[in-house]
Structure 1
Amino acid sequence: MGVAMVRRRGLAALFGAVVAGLSAPPADAERLDALAAVVGTGAITCYEFEQAVDTMIRQLKMAGSPVPPRPQVERRVLRAKIDEQLQLQRARQLKLKVDDDEIEQAMAEVEQRNNIPAGSLPDVLRMQGVDFADYREQLRRQLLINKVVDVDLRSKIQVSEESMREYYRKYLANPEPMREVRLARILLALPSEPTPERVERARRRLERIRRRIIGGEKISALAPLLSDGPRASSGGDLGWHFPGAMPKPLRKFLEGPVGSVSAPIRLADGMNLIQITDERWHKPKVGKPYDEVHARHILLRIPEGADEATRARIRYRAEQIAQEMKKASDEEFATRAKEISQGPSSERGGDLGWFRRGEMAKPFEQAAFSLPVGGTSGVVETSFGLHIIRVVGRRHVDPNAFEVHKPKIEQQLRALELRDQMPRWLASLRQNTVVERRSCGVAPDHTPHHASGGRSAAPADG
């Protein structure tokens, strides 16, 4: 599972992948010590390698996909494990670490996304025969790889204002329905300056794979074994795309029907084979403009079951605070909120951010939307307690405007660029690291992994 290829959105999938990778019978002592490969300053044991091979075979069977001969699976898995080692060693070079708090947060998100009661993940893992300590270590590795990608790739990706506006004009500003296609691909990565012979070998290999897909084999079953792409372990699935947003060499092909398989296409990241696996018609949502308010508040809670005298005392205090805050600056209001507010926003000076109608309790909403910027309310009672509200700002929002869509557009364009850069980055790590393969009965992998003249024949594709 290439968690380096995704940000936290993949934690639910990560749960399944890590569990699958750890659910295996114990190995004998010799297999624990034997090495499948030495990668730079690290190593891959025969035990973890064979675990990963068995996992991939199980996943193919569960998906109902044809299972290739084991040697072919072994070649693919060995390459994936080598890539994992390369990324972990890069993390050490950068002195990156994952602390316990980050692991705990990731596990909490795994529980939430998989509808597991809070704190129950260790029990769920034990029921599936997974050692919790092993799970934590695998999760730590995956989070560490994600940090490496952040430093080496994500942080350096720049998306121009012009490209975001162009995307908006083409796909969001026009209310007419537009076709989206779901794509899958098999990528054969190429170095930055490949020889013509290397390019031709990749092209011929993809032609053979293309004939297999046209003959009825599923690209989703072939991609985990043959593709160098970051989504290979997910069947090569690239998700949904507008054809016009894809690289120019693909656009004509993407006008074809579902099931179409492209000829080999050379792009920046290597030689690609693309299949259109599904289609849908996207109609941009046209929303009505609305108003938003940015507010702070000071909250005084009323204890459950409080008697009338207690309630009166708390209200009197709230009215005094409201009177004091009428002439206070926003900075003074924020300071006072930090000191005395009993709500979760107190650490932020009572800042509630921007909200629209329907997002707050009705009495709170009515008071906030009736105040001018800089205005302070009297005491407002809701089920949470007694509030004093300060309006910091007001704005009119057009949900169809570029500015509203801009963060999501930027995220999409950055993800596309990361997907293109990832194979080249991995290739550069391989090029600069010496890899020594040992014997676990592994079928030879003839893919070069180091700069000093590795064998150049591509691995067989079936």
Structure 2
Amino acid sequence: MVAALLLSGAVARAELVDRVAAVVNRDVIALSEVEKRVAPELARLNTAVRDPQRRAEEQARLRKAALDALIGEKLMEEQIQELGLGVTDAELDAAIGDVRRQNNVTEDAQFERLLSGEGFTVAAYKDFLRKQMGRMKLVQLKVTPKVKVSEEDLKAAYTQYTKLESGDAEVHARHILVQVDANAKPEQVEAARKKAEKLAEEARKPGVDFAELAKARSEGPSAADGGDLGFFRRGVMVAAFERVAFSLPEGGVSEPVRTQFGWHVLKVEEKRAVDVAAFEQVKGELEQKLKLQKTEKFVEQYVQELRQKASVDVKI
């Protein structure tokens, strides 16, 4: 009796997982396909969002996006078959060879381990790659001819690029580090902070050479260089360190700043605007970026056109 109940429960769960999520013309998309597609995003969401209501809303949005993507792929696969754009075994083998060369893989067992790390068997990866290559053929036939990037597009993109690049600056800073062990007791942390505070006061005194003070008193690896960190932009340093460095004026000395390494006293030596690359230098990069953006937009439009002509019945 117990075994029968356990069996019936397992069957019920299987039916729940494998029930139909959507029917695209005559093709079925199972709910299990949707769950597999959305699993990585759900895993990240569950650790990043604590509020249950917001998490449930995001889960629903992610599942809908995954289902829409699967519907689009089904519709494109039908077109691939209709237009005879299938990928030959020779084309697939050549693509697999490229993947192996790019990853410096020569042994079959090594390739299998590489794929396993990405959640694929060799057979599953070949199926995935064949479908992806087929969709690329379809895009090249139906979408790529529509993608045009004019000189005006490029100049507008360059204007935006210069605004973004010139809006920031580089900072040349030095620091003095008072190290604090990761497992230090609160009183040890406070003692180190007071030590750093005294160093900051000393560094602000007229005539004091910060570089020499850092050589003599810093406990960090840059002490020999006078605590010199060189020039850096945002996104390079630890966040707490960076906030202070970019808020100080030239010549300014900070209050002690805590990071995982200990307490830092910073001095900003210089700030300078970032040189923006000339148009001709970045033209090719901008063109590729615009082509990619326009291709993605036209692919979305193409899939929507296919969907409007198809029979799509969403069940969830």
TM-score band, normalised by shorter chain: 0.3 to 0.5
Q: TM-score, normalised by structure 1?
A: 0.35
More strand by share: 1
More helix by share: 2
Q: TM-score, normalised by structure 2?
A: 0.48
Which structure has more relative contact order (CA 8 Å, sep 6+)? It is 2
